[in-house]
Amino acid sequence: MNLQHRSKLGTRQIRNSASSGEVEAFLRQVAKTPVPAVGGRGRLIFAMDATASRKPTWDRAARIQAAMFNESAELGGLEIQLCYYSGVLGFECSPWYQEATALHTCMTSVSCTAGLSQIGRVLRHAEEESRRGRVNALVFVGDCVEENPDELAGLAGRLGLLGLPAFVFQEGADPGAEQSFRRIAHLSGGAYCHFDAHSPQTLRDLLSAVAVYAAGGRTALEDFGNQRGGEALRLARQIIKA
């Protein structure tokens, strides 16, 4: 396969935006996820596809990642580890960061390079980290799956057994990727949502919601929804009904 002309760079149809129903379904699933142990800082692995076509989304994520720290600060704070793959075999994981500036510096130093997806390595790494110490959530942002879906499903199931939910955000409308992403989310005990690259506020709110959940559990997520309104408020209402 010519890495510069991967299928994901082709003429794939992109949805205009994630529907409110999709976002509500995602946030509702977050609300149903078992509450993590609260006390001290929450720990979240933030994993992204850093292959060539992902640069615009990478840049947006670098600009909005501070929201995850800000929204969780009053809950005891958050530690975030950046995990990404790029090129043919490139796979990197950062130290655990406790403030946005360090994470932003790390993200802006990354060059997005053409390559294949390595989601399996992300899931294996998350499992290893979880066995070393409590990890409250895994967030993955990507648009393409070029690995064996059954193998990824097996890895996701192991995360589920460890109590590590994967919250998967898909950009684009690749149906094969969507099916695999949904399985990863379901088997790990997490949730899936599509988002539009042209609606950074949606991605910001979703990332913030998971960060608040990782730091403080459902009650904190409900408070966040009441304060934020919009999509986050719809989440809060789902929690109240649960």
pLDDT band, very low/low/confident/very high, at 39 (cuts 50, 70, 90): low
H helices present in the chain, as ranges: 20-32, 55-64, 66-72, 100-108, 119-132, 149-162, 175-188, 200-228, 230-241
Share of the chain above pLDDT 90, in %: 28
| pLDDT tens-place string over residues 223-236 | 777 777 665 555 44
Edge-first strand listing for the sheet containing 90-97: 90-97, 78-86, 42-49, 137-142, 166-171, 191-195
Q: What is the mean pLDDT of residues 77-93?
A: 87
Provide the pLDDT for residue 128. Answer: 97
Q: For the chain, what are the domain ranges?
A: 41-217
Does the structure show a pLDDT above 60 at 18?
Answer: no
* 79 within 8 A of 34, measured Cβ to Cβ: no
Average pLDDT, the chain: 78
In the CATH scheme, what architecture does the domain 41-217 have? Answer: 3-Layer(aba) Sandwich (3.40)
Q: 238: pLDDT confidence band, cut at 50, 70 and 90?
A: very low
